[in-house]
Amino acid sequence: MESIYLAIVLAPLLGAAVAGLLGRQVGRAGAHSVTIAGVAVSFFLSAYVFWQHAVAGAAPYNDSVYTWMVADGFRFEVGFLVDRLTALMMLVVTFVSFMVHIYTIGYMRDDPGYQRFFALISLFTFSMLMLVMANNFLQLFFGWEAVGLVSYLLIGFWFRRPSAIYANLKAFIVNRVGDMAFVLGIAALVLHTSSLDYATLFARAEELSGITLSLLPGTEWSLLSVACILLFIGAMAKSAQVPLHVWLPDSMEGPTPISALIHAATMVTAGIFMVARMSPLYEHSVAALGFILVIGAITAFFMGLIGLVQNDIKRVVAYSTLSQLGYMTVALGASAYAAGIFHLMTHAFFKALLFLAAGSVIIAMHHEQDMRRMGGLGKYMPVTYVTALVGALALIGFPGFSGFFSKDGIIEAVHLSSTPGAGFAYVLVLAGVFVTALYTFRMFFMVFHGEERFRHAPPPDHGQDDAHGHHGHGGEPHESPWVVTLPLVLLAIPSVFAGYLIGPLLFGDFFDGVLHVDPSRDVLAELGHHYHGVWGYLAHGFMMPPFWLAMAGLVSAWYIYLRRPGIARVARERLPWLHATLQRGYGFDAFNDAVFAAGTRRLGQFLWRFGDALIIDTLLVNGSSRAVGWAAGRLRLGQTGYLYHYAFAMIIGLLGLILAFAL
């Protein structure tokens, strides 16, 4: 099996190398052919691996494939841990990436950076596979940083646009903040175990739970609590949790295919996966779990509210991603790791579907993204309309769609949880159901129903080229080509049916031996006592608050944005402070710009003026040179050229030495 695992990882890397290094030689067709072939190989082999582990009952694989370095007893290795969690992640990552690669042929067909884009998204897939298949912290950190680097390159893909450069720098810097904590968390664990290997760390979790650290005089902190919180801060940046979420909405500056890949199956899910993988450690720290629970709940609700005031179709979906990541994080904090991974899986399908459907709309609107210039597109784009509706229903958790099973599982798990902060989290995630339905169908109705506002709107003003590097052109909206609609249809299928795996994934033994939960906090086991099959779960869902809240949000969106569109305008006029607060994203960006960005610039200017200019230049460099020059000038006066002057100086010096020794 080792050769299969290597092929899964290396096939996208090979495609990226060919498209990136030989792009001019192979041309556009060669670039997309080799990268799609590489990801296709990874997908089909990942499907085989998933079948082996999920159906055939293959034993987990955990072994090193390459020793990079051995230093002072530490082994730095490349190795694979492939169990059911890994197999599920591999399948999700490669399938979504496969669909995005095909979709990209249509979306980026006129872009001058065509080969470069295919090389980067294939490299992105390789990086994520290295992350999820890692069996040690060294390889995990390699994949962690690699997805960050490639996302930086892809968010700023249109590097001639200042907004794209600002966005990718923002993503890079925010993730470096999280990565600093992430490295410290790894270091704390390695310092006490002398190992980077997962299995060694997990085996010593009980021992580590008894170790304390004195971070402040007179206080003792649990080693595992400190390490787990530091690791989670790294996940907060990667998976965009408050307050390290600010980079994700701006990542919309990249092309739509990479927005789908980042938001659905790669970078932002890395933090969720990491915490789930580290469940043997997190289960020994109630403090870390409570922290995770509260952060996730705040993100789930308050980021969803911002989606209500966005007019850019991609930014609405982006804030939806933030909110749904909050739901996954809440599941982790409630020790319902399986529910978090289950929602990660279903969300990957319907969120990729929504992003790619938004991209299809953007193509039809000649790269216009403002929903206020859309409307009535449903009759022009039937395939996009139906698939977007499937994605929207899955997102709001409508019974029968995948999001219903995974999101309701999280909400019920939090309701049963006794972790500190669970009551607070339950209220927010329940309220978030209404908000999710409201902003989702606000977007859906504004784009596909109502007045055809694009007929009265001026064409988008993007200068010589439009926002996506294409020349704008007029004409009637029409359905996108098959390379765009085929991935939509293929993603719509699991967006409906993936949730029916709830039995084995949530209440079965699928994750036995992989995800570890303390019996006293096993809320999914308690929930499983009331599980009586998929159809019983569906019937029960119609009677639960999440369903009625979702329907209230859907009906409210229909009434406000189709029947009485003036209501939204009146609300903005009567509550300008609330609208402005949401538009500004609660002021996080302004605070970061004013305090951190401006503050560090002022600190740098102060250090330059005081430290560099005054101390180093004036005192040390220029001052020392002037002092030497002055001393040399004084000493030069004693060089007269007369022998008797030198003889006299020698006599005086000799007398001084005699006196010194005599005394």
| DSSP codes of every residue in 260-295 | HHHHHTSHHHHHHHHHHHTHHHHTT-HHHHHHHHHH
Amino acid at position 106, single letter = G
For residues 402 and 519, state if they share a domain: yes
Work out the mean pLDDT of the chain and round it to a whole number: 88
Flag whether pLDDT at 475 surpasses 70.
no
For residues 322 and 383, state if they share a domain: yes
Neighbours of 366 (CB within 10 A): 18
Neighbours of 203 (CB within 10 A): 13
Between CA 359 and CA 287 the distance in angstroms is 42
For residues 617 and 549, state if they share a domain: no
Report whether 433 contacts 550 (CB < 8 A).
Answer: yes
How confident is the model over 26-40, as a mean pLDDT? 93
For residues 209 and 339, state if they share a domain: yes
Q: pTM score, two decimals?
A: 0.88
For residues 111 and 21, state if they share a domain: yes
For residues 288 and 372, state if they share a domain: yes
The answer to whether residue 470 sits within a structural domain is: no
Neighbours of 456 (CB within 10 A): 9
How confident is the model over 300-321, as a mean pLDDT? 92
3-state secondary structure of 56: coil
The full DSSP string for 370-439 is BGGG---GGGT-HHHHHHHHHHHHHHHT-TTSHHHHHHHHHHHHHHH--STTHHHHHHHHHHHHHHHHHH
Least confident interval from 17-21, 217-221, 280-284, 406-410: 217-221
Q: What pLDDT was estimated at residue 643?
A: 80
Between CA 153 and CA 290 the distance in angstroms is 35
Least confident interval from 41-50, 186-195, 412-421, 585-594: 585-594
> What is the rounded end-to-end Cα distance, in angstroms, of the chain?
89
Report whether 442 contacts 557 (CB < 8 A).
Answer: yes
For the ranges 187-191, 327-331, 639-643, the one whose mean pLDDT is highest: 327-331
Residue spans of alpha helices (H) in 133-204: 137-155, 162-193, 198-203
3-state secondary structure of 212: strand
For 436-460, write each residue's pLDDT tens digit.
999 999 999 999 998 888 777 554 4
> Above pLDDT 90, what percent of the chain?
56
DSSP state of 157: S
How confident is the model over 181-185, as a mean pLDDT? 95
3-state secondary structure of 59: coil
**Considering only CA atoms, which of 495, 493, 97, 443 is closest in space to residue 262?**
97
Q: What pLDDT was estimated at residue 474?
A: 52
For 346-360, write each residue's pLDDT tens digit.
999 999 999 999 999
How confident is the model over 135-160, as a mean pLDDT? 92
Q: What pLDDT was estimated at residue 462?
A: 41
For residues 559 and 596, state if they share a domain: no
How confident is the model over 107-115, as a mean pLDDT? 88
Report whether 130 contacts 146 (CB < 8 A).
Answer: yes
Positive or negative, the Cα torsion across 360, 365, 369, 372?
negative
The answer to whether residue 371 sits within a structural domain is: yes
Least confident interval from 229-238, 389-398, 463-472, 602-611: 463-472
Tokens of 89: 């992640």
Neighbour-count burial of 648, counting CB atoms closer than 10 A to its CB (0-12 exposed, 13-18 middle, 19+ buried):
exposed
Q: What pLDDT was estimated at residue 470?
A: 41
For residues 394 and 305, state if they share a domain: yes
For residues 143 and 28, state if they share a domain: yes
For residues 126 and 81, state if they share a domain: yes
For 574-623, write each residue's pLDDT tens digit.
888 888 888 888 888 888 777 777 777 777 777 777 777 777 777 777 77
DSSP state of 80: E
The answer to whether residue 57 sits within a structural domain is: yes
The answer to whether residue 463 sits within a structural domain is: no
The answer to whether residue 528 sits within a structural domain is: yes
Flag whether pLDDT at 311 surpasses 80.
yes
For residues 498 and 388, state if they share a domain: yes
Between residues 612 and 302, the one the model is more confident about:
302
Q: What pLDDT was estimated at residue 458?
A: 57
Flag whether pLDDT at 255 surpasses 90.
no
Q: What pLDDT was estimated at residue 473?
A: 44
The answer to whether residue 575 sits within a structural domain is: no
Where on the phi/psi map is residue 475: left (φ > 0), alpha (ψ -120 to 50), or beta? left
The answer to whether residue 570 sits within a structural domain is: no
**Considering only CA atoms, which of 296, 141, 139 is closest in space to residue 231?**
141
Q: Which domain holds residue 367?
A: 1-456+477-563
Flag whether pLDDT at 85 surpasses 50.
yes
Between residues 291 and 476, the one the model is more confident about:
291
Least confident interval from 73-87, 177-191, 389-403, 472-486: 472-486
Q: Where are the beta strands (DSSP E) in 223-375?
A: none
Positive or negative, the Cα torsion across 65, 68, 72, 74?
negative
The answer to whether residue 464 sits within a structural domain is: no
For the ranges 39-43, 563-567, 605-609, 651-655, the one whose mean pLDDT is highest: 39-43
**Considering only CA atoms, which of 14, 9, 7 is closest in space to residue 35?**
14
Give the number of domains in the chain: 2
Between CA 328 and CA 631 the distance in angstroms is 71
Amino acid at position 418, single letter = S
Q: What pLDDT was estimated at residue 457?
A: 58
For the chain, what's the residue count?
Answer: 663
For residues 651 and 514, state if they share a domain: no
Q: What pLDDT was estimated at residue 531?
A: 87
Neighbour-count burial of 32, counting CB atoms closer than 10 A to its CB (0-12 exposed, 13-18 middle, 19+ buried):
buried
Report whether 6 contacts 61 (CB < 8 A).
Answer: no
For 192-206, write each residue's pLDDT tens digit.
888 899 999 999 999
Between CA 388 and CA 351 the distance in angstroms is 10
